[in-house]
Chains A and B, each alone.
Chain A
Amino acid sequence: MKRYLPPYLLSGPAVIIFVIMLAVPMIMTFMLSFKSFSFYTGITPDYGWHNYLEVVTDSYFHEIFFRTYAISIGVTLLCALIGAPEAYILNRMTKAWRSMCLLAILGPLLISVIVRTLGWALLIGNNGVINDALLLLGVIDEPLRMMYTTQAIVVALVHVLVPFMVLSVWTTLQKLDPQVENASMSLGASHFTTMYRVVLPQIMPGILAGSLIVFALTASAFATPSILGGRALKVVATTAYDEYLNTLNWPLGAAIATILLIANIVVVMSYNKYVEHKYAAVFD
């Protein structure tokens, strides 16, 4: 019996921090989501499903959830399309170039999300660098509207999240036997066929793992959509925030947050299951 004790004791401090910092607030949020709210009485403890019902039935929320997941899928696809080739090229570079490029790719992660997003705002605003330059050059007559668009959110999110894809794909590339490409070529395959039939399937697990990270981070992203999307283009995270701090309807905000969490968990888990099932026979 005794030898079972040390592992528990050793993981004890971490478990306590985990419980206090994560489990307790989550359970409280979950409880809160069943309470009621009105402007006159504030939050009252008559429990029920009404908050959930509101989210599920109101088309206002449908649109927000739809937008969130559309953005998530778009960002994930773009990250895969940009990140996978980027990782492949990175892997082929000489050491010196690779460190430099790696720094450039990981750069966005070193800057606070707020600062980085405000940087995008400076760039794409109506009086931003891009519009000023285009006006000056006479390419356009009036500023292009780029702020407060879905595209702006997507571009900025891709910028931040692509490093996760690159790192994830790069890890799988390290395990790739460089001779495998030569083998394919010597068997008569072209460069393109080698890429498509030999390299891509082997780095697919990395792309899928990276997609998972990017998708989850996009679906719960807050700062970027709130700055670049503004009031008009709400996503789930910004909606929950608004319910808490503007409407002061905490229970409804809690319900939205809970639904987002559960939806993300369901997506991530089923995706994981699919990937594991698909590649169990092929890779260790």
Chain B
Amino acid sequence: MSFLSLKNVSKQYGDSLAVQDFNLNVEKGEFISLLGPSGCGKTTTLNMIAGFEEPTTGTIEISGKDMTYAAPNTRDIGIVFQSYALFPHMTVAENVGFGLEMRRVGKEERRQRVLETLELVRLTQFADRFPKALSGGQRQRVALARAIVIKPQLLLLDEPLSALDAKIRERMQIELRNIQHEVGVTTILVTHDQAEAMAMSDRIAVMNFGRMARLGAPFEIYEQPGDLFTSNFLGSTNMFDGEVSEQAGDVVMVNCSGVELSVQGNAAKGSKITVGVRPEKIALVEAGLGLIDAKIKTRIFMGTRWAYQLESSLGTLDVTLQNAGHEVAGEGVIVGVTWPRHAIRIFAEG
């Protein structure tokens, strides 16, 4: 039995469906991300789990108990809000201690646990400050401390890092992951940043228009996204439309704009399909030695890698190469383009 399960959960606002037929089972101790574009229903899903909103249909079970309509203050859930929602009239220590106070934890134990948690998020020296006098990253850690000090069964994080700049965000991601490991609390993170979701989660639930598009481990769904939306949302993809010209075993030949590509997978001969290959899977070789030749249109240096745009008979190709420390082919050069057969995937048929 899963720790948390959402069964056929839908939420309707007026005549628009914010969440549709959502099913998700979360195991104890798991770190799950809800990933999707703005307005796809992530916050709504989280609010229903937290009890701030009631589902229109469907049930939410926690530890096997139906909690669909339970009040938020009976669910034992720690939440870090996107806006942090700290209590501005309380000091950091009072903020963190509030949940313990509500649980009638004795004064001495409360002080002890607040101190321990502040140590965990490395805010001990700020205990007596008001939230107003903290930086964004510090506020975020107070919000986190306030949520985990009560040792909740479930931790919900609604885009907790979106307000931070890239560098702090990366550091906070690692910190958050470490703290989650240390405390071992089941966690659901809402984000629209695919890199964040992949960096932190055991599993990712990709959402689109209120529906679950794909659920799986980060590597798995990145490599086998299943549909075009997921593929594009998790990373850029070079896509070619074509027609299956031949099928043999689990390999099909696809004719894309006159180029014959061999692809692993199944598709009926004559059917129209889309195939896609990720930029980092493509290798550049000498002209004439690859699958096709292409002309380098732009080359951008990004530090750890090079980003290319190539002009080929398949259309524009995005390619990224690791920066290995030596100069690479520049703009205007004709190069060969190749990729391993298993790197190219079949999407929507027809």
Q: Report which A residues bind B (CB closer than 8 A).
A: 177, 179-180, 182-190, 193, 197-198, 201-202, 204, 281-284
Contact = CB atoms under 8 A, between A and B. Distances in A.
Nearest to B146: A187
Contacts of B130: 281-282
Contacts, number: 71
B98 A184 contact: yes
Given A187-B150, A281-B130, A182 B52 contact: yes
Given A283-B132, A284-B132, A184 B103 contact: no
A184 B98 CA distance: 8
A187 B102 contact: yes
Most buried by B among A182, A193, A202, A204: A182
Contact of B99 (A180, A188, A281, A283): A188
Nearest to A201: B89
A186 B88 contact: no
Given A189-B73, A193-B102, A284-B132, A184 B87 contact: yes
Contacts of A186: 50-51, 72-73, 75, 77-79
The A contact surface, by secondary structure, is helix
A65 B217 CA distance: 77
Nearest to A190: B73
Interface string B52-63: 100000000000
Nearest to B80: A183
B98 A182 contact: no
B340 to A, nearest CB: 48
Contacts of B83: 177, 179
A183 B85 contact: yes
Nearest to A187: B99
B199 interface: no
Contact of B87 (A180, A193, A281): A180
Interface in B102-116: 102-103
Contacts of B347: none
Contacts of A183: 79, 81, 85-87, 146
The DSSP consensus for interface residues of chain B is loop
Contacts of B77: 186
Contacts of B328: none
A188 B132 contact: no
Given A185-B72, A186-B78, A187-B99, A202 B88 contact: yes
Nearest to B50: A186
B89 A282 contact: yes
A283 B133 CA distance: 10
A186 B78 CA distance: 7
A191 to B, nearest CB: 9
Which are the 4 A-B pairs with shortest beta-carbon distances? A188-B102, A187-B99, A179-B85, A183-B85
Contacts of A177: 83, 85
22 contacts: A177-B83, A180-B87, A182-B52, A182-B81, A183-B87, A185-B51, A186-B51, A187-B73, A188-B73, A188-B76, A188-B102, A193-B102, A197-B98, A198-B87, A201-B89, A202-B88, A204-B89, A281-B132, A282-B89, A282-B130, A282-B132, A283-B88
A279 to B, nearest CB: 8
Nearest to A193: B102
Interface string B16-32: 00000000000000000
B50 A188 contact: no
Q: Which of A183, A190, A281, A283 has the most CB of B within 10 A?
A: A183
B168 interface: no
Nearest to A284: B132
B289 interface: no
Contacts of B82: 179
A189 B81 CA distance: 17
A241 B330 CA distance: 93
A177 B83 CA distance: 8
A182 B85 CA distance: 9
Given A187-B98, A188-B103, A282 B75 contact: no
B71 interface: yes
Contacts of A204: 89
